[in-house]
Amino acid sequence: MQQIVDLEADQEFQALDVELLSISFDDAATQKQAAEAVGVESTPMLVDDDRSVSEAYDVLQWAVATGEPGHTFVLVDGEGRIAWVRDYGAQENGGLMYVPTQELVEQIDEALNS
């Protein structure tokens, strides 16, 4: 969740004018407790307990050992189409659970302007 806190605070990310959402299999109470513990301020925490959103955006292809998506970012355009997707959590993609904010800003900016 530190990734969310850092993105919320990053002016360059905010300037991209994209909506940040966190989607997890965890129930709302668990997500709320974790978000409060690290200082998430405004990012909606959505529950995907039936895995329908994860399946719709095909992020389960990078699921970790528990069957959950790892650390995947999906950029959806105004028409609801995937404009960019990057998974960092899967071992084949580096196994990262934190991506430097500047790297995300650059990649998302490139996707928005391509």
pLDDT digits (tens, 9 = 90+) for 45-77: 999 999 999 999 999 998 888 888 888 999 998
Residue 91 has pLDDT above 90, yes or no: no
pLDDT digits (tens, 9 = 90+) for 93-110: 788 889 999 999 999 999
Is the whole model's pTM more than 0.85, yes or no? yes
C-alpha torsion sign, points 109, 112, 113, 114: positive
Residue 114 has pLDDT above 90, yes or no: no
Domains and CATH numbers, the chain: 2-112 (3.40.30.10)
User: Percent of the chain beyond pLDDT 90?
Assistant: 73
